[in-house]
């Protein structure tokens, strides 16, 4: 289910299908990576909404899917979404889902009123959930997906323990940790293995990012 995915860094992924390239929160995309057919952006922070990367991988016909505040800054073929909206772009169907903070120390980092999002999308018959930056929200527990990409770095969003609680409630077929090991105070590389151990019996696959970790 992950054969077509490449973890770039942080929450940035590339999916390469037959005749279709999809990016989610691209950041520091290598120069030799192909242009995008579709780009999903979860929110306005620059490690998820990188204007330089969008300029590099975007084409005249690239479709951008983004929350309304980000969409307002983009040009071209742009689909603005809010939590609960359905998605159908280039044959990719899915839904935008909530992504925000509920822990008191984080409330101003990803406020609920910003209407930032995660995504549930179907690609070649599999359903993938990309959480964006979020805490463990009760309304996310009902998401059913084959694969769940969840942040584990803490500080700005779920740490390992919160992410473990979320995937155990969601019970995806496979969970993949992200958003750790690149910023000071936001997890270290070995947290991926701790997440794998603690999330059992949920199966976890720890990917290796194309861009090396900054914090081991």
pLDDT in tens, 43-89: 999 999 999 999 999 999 999 999 999 999 999 999 999 999 999 99
Q: Please state, for a pLDDT cut of 90, what percent of the chain lies above it.
A: 98
Q: Strand, coil or helix: what is 130?
A: strand
Tokens encoding 120: 């549930």
| Cross-strand pairs, 51 | none
CA distances from 146 to 2, 46, 48, 71, 184 (A): 10, 28, 23, 28, 31
Class of domain 5-199 (CATH, top level): alpha beta
Residue 149: phi and psi, rounded to 5, are: -95, 115
pLDDT, one tens digit per residue, over 23-51 is 999 999 999 999 999 999 999 999 999 99
**Does pLDDT of 153 surpass 90?**
yes
**pLDDT (mean) for 119-126:** 97
Which residues, including other chains, have CB under 8 Å from residue 33's CB and lie 6 or more apart?
Answer: 8, 14, 57
Cα(133)–Cα(152) distance, integer angstroms: 10
pTM above threshold 0.95: yes
Burial class (CB in 10 A: 0-12, 13-18, 19+), 155: middle
Provide the residue ranges of all domains of the chain, joining segments of one domain with +. 5-199
**Does pLDDT of 216 surpass 90?**
no
Cα(92)–Cα(88) distance, integer angstroms: 5
């Amino acid at each position: 289910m992950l054969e077509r995915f490449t973890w770039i860094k942080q929450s940035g992924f590339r999916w390469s299908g037959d005749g279709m390239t999809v990016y989610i929160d691209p950041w520091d995309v290598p120069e030799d990576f192909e242009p995008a057919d579709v780009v999903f952006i979860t929110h306005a922070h620059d490690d998820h909404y990188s204007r330089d990367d969008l300029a590099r991988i975007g084409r005249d016909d690239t479709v951008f899917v983004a929350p309304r505040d980000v969409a307002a800054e983009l040009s071209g073929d742009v689909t603005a979404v809010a939590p609960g909206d359905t998605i159908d772009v280039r044959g990719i169907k899915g839904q935008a889902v909530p992504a925000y903070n509920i822990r008191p120390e984080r409330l101003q980092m990803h406020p609920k009123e910003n209407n930032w999002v995660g995504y549930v999308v179907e690609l070649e018959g599999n359903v993938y959930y990309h959480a964006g930056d979020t805490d463990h929200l009760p309304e996310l527990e009902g998401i059913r997906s084959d694969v769940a990409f969840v942040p584990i770095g803490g500080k700005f969003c779920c740490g390992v323990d919160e992410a473990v609680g979320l995937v155990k409630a969601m019970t995806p077929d496979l969970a993949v940790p992200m958003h750790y090991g690149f910023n000071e105070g936001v997890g270290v590389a070995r947290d991926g293995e701790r997440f794998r151990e603690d999330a059992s019996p949920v199966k976890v696959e720890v990917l290796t990012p194309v861009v090396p970790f900054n914090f081991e």
